[in-house]
Amino acid sequence: MSAAFGARLQQAVAEHGPILAGIDPHAALLEAWGLPDTADGVREFSQRTLEAVAGEVAAIKPQSAFFERHGSAGAAALEELLARARERGVLSILDVKRGDIGSTMGAYAEAYLRPGSPLEADAITVSPYLGFGSLAPAFEQVASAGKGVFVLALTSNPEGPEVQHARSGSGSVAGRIVAQVAELNAAAPAGTWGSAGLVVGATVGDAVRELGIDLVGTRGPLLVPGFGAQGAGPADLPRVFGEAAPQVLVSVSRGLLKAGGEVADLRAAARDLRAAYTAKAAPGGAR
């Protein structure tokens, strides 16, 4: 079995900074890059982005939906991207937000986390809203295959608080999810990230503090969308996450991809983003 995902990701952040490069080949970006809105266009877009960001970011985050909308040919383009990332030694976090029960969740875990699967990724995003225990098949792959999961907790969409801020016993729904992720990571070696992370939006404002949530105590990585096009910037990293800022993966998609379709331009944009966010993610980063 390969080394634990959390440890590998932590090392990647130490070497390449906290940027997580989203690969979202939606129609408007394909057009801006002069590519057709087809599976071939998606394939070129994704491979070009990987070429540009390899060695410049901690990991890539393909959004599965933008590949799936092109059917089997789009899924093949995603398979090729994930395989090429493995060849290049670039960690992949596949954004699929899967969540189901029983054998169905087991099939999702095998599809994305089983070594040798055509769609094998290093980690996936998962939804706990059919009950945290329903995700057990994914957690089993984390333990047995050195994979990772990022559990939706406090998302950046405006509808999220309807469920995530709701009270559950003595705390919030989100707070309970965070506590259960902390339990999964409790056995990780001291000073090493666990392989269960959380999705927490950069635009959640004071929600972490107001809900009494301890992100540092999870001992895991935080996948944080909301930077760039959604309005959050480097100053929001320490302001929203406080002492948990060093655990943040700064997820940037449009803010990177708007640099255009030339590899050199994309690579320069990735380096600029890395410089802008690395200092803010450091312990005690300027507030």
Measuring CA to CA, which residue among 60, 39, 38, 58 is closest to residue 49?
60
Query: Is 280 an annotated catalytic residue?
Result: no
What stretches of the chain show up as alpha helix (H) in DSSP? 5-16, 27-32, 39-53, 64-68, 71-88, 102-113, 136-145, 161-164, 173-185, 207-210, 236-241, 254-257, 263-281
- Give the list of residues 6+ apart from residue 13 with CB closer than 8 angstroms, or none: 58, 221, 249
Say if residues 29 and 63 touch (Cβ distance below 8 Å): no
Bridge partner residues of 252 (DSSP): 21
Query: Per the residue annotation, which of 61, 97, 147, 280 is the catalytic one?
Result: 97
Q: Supply the angle between the helices 39-53 and 71-88 in degrees, to the nearest 10.
A: 20
Assigned token pair, 98: 């899967």
Residue numbers annotated as active site: 97
